[in-house]
Amino acid sequence: MITVSIIGCGNIGTELARFLNKDHRFRIVALVDKDINRIETASEKIHQRPSSCSLHEAIKKADLIIEAANKDVVRDILSDKSLDKAGKKFLVMSSGGLVENTSLLKKLKNCEVNIPSGAIAGLDAIKAAAEDISSLLLTTTKPVSSLSTTPFVLKNKISLDFLRSRTKIFEGNLKEAIKGFPQNINVGAGLFLASGCKKIKVQIYADPFTKFNTHEVTCNGSFGTIKTRTENLPSKNPKTSHLAILSAIATLKNIAGKLKIA
């Protein structure tokens, strides 16, 4: 049985707890969140009774640590010496935190880091073609409601309330996108970690009439062109696609299963 600590008890953390609660291969031993009410809410949805403890204790006592909080928490987990132990596994939802802390990631010698493909398709092909990629473009379109409170929009005082059509609000590199849209651009971080491409171009559009979180990837190289498009319905949190949760559940099944599909 795999013991699990979940860091972050919002929508994603709670949904993953519900899945783990039904799978006999896992046992949840700890829940961590800065909001005690979230911990209580997550606990009410499962029959297991994991402890509420510090981040360090949660990392120390579990075989598998699931981050479902934010990119800053990823840094805190990577910095904890209890993480880098033989047999430990770390599942990261806020993959932007890995991109911002690659020096800490490279120091890990024993811990296995798992990154769900999230809300896009085709990471397997992009990973296979990594050494031959010449350009990589991510175009993301989201409803106004999921973008209106992002740091980039607030800092630049961009008014999205009166948009009448799909409008580009950002174009830049991946690091700028992660900083400006930390909860919206984990798909871009996944692309970087799969490809190693340091010149990923990101475009973000706000659309007042869409209900989908849409991600389009165009990857060119000596192999030809890879194009993918996913139109995702949001989860209960409008900033997160439901597919991201399903992807994390698939990763958990892969961790516990005998058949590994790369």
12 and 106 inside one domain: yes
Q: Is 47 a catalytic residue?
A: no
What's the pTM value of the predicted model, to 2 decimals? Answer: 0.89
21 and 91 inside one domain: yes
Q: Pick the catalytic residue from 24, 47, 215, 242.
A: 215
- Residues of the chain with pLDDT below 50 are none
227 and 129 inside one domain: yes
261 lies in some domain: no
Q: Write out pLDDT tens, residues 21-52.
A: 999 999 999 999 999 999 999 999 898 888 88
Task: Name the region of 118 (left: φ>0; alpha: ψ -120 to 50; beta: rest).
Answer: left
Range of the domain at 27: 2-117+243-256
168 lies in some domain: yes
Check residue 261 and give its pLDDT: 61
198 lies in some domain: yes
In DSSP terms, which residues pair with 114 in a beta bridge? 91
Check residue 237 and give its pLDDT: 78
142 and 223 inside one domain: yes
143 and 235 inside one domain: yes
82 and 135 inside one domain: no
8 and 108 inside one domain: yes
Instruction: For the sheet with 89-92, list strands across it.
Output: 51-52, 26-32, 2-7, 64-67, 89-92, 112-114
CATH code, domain carrying 145:
3.30.360.10
Check residue 86 and give its pLDDT: 92
135 lies in some domain: yes
CATH code, domain carrying 94:
3.40.50.720
262 lies in some domain: no
Check residue 260 and give its pLDDT: 62
165 and 195 inside one domain: yes
18 and 109 inside one domain: yes
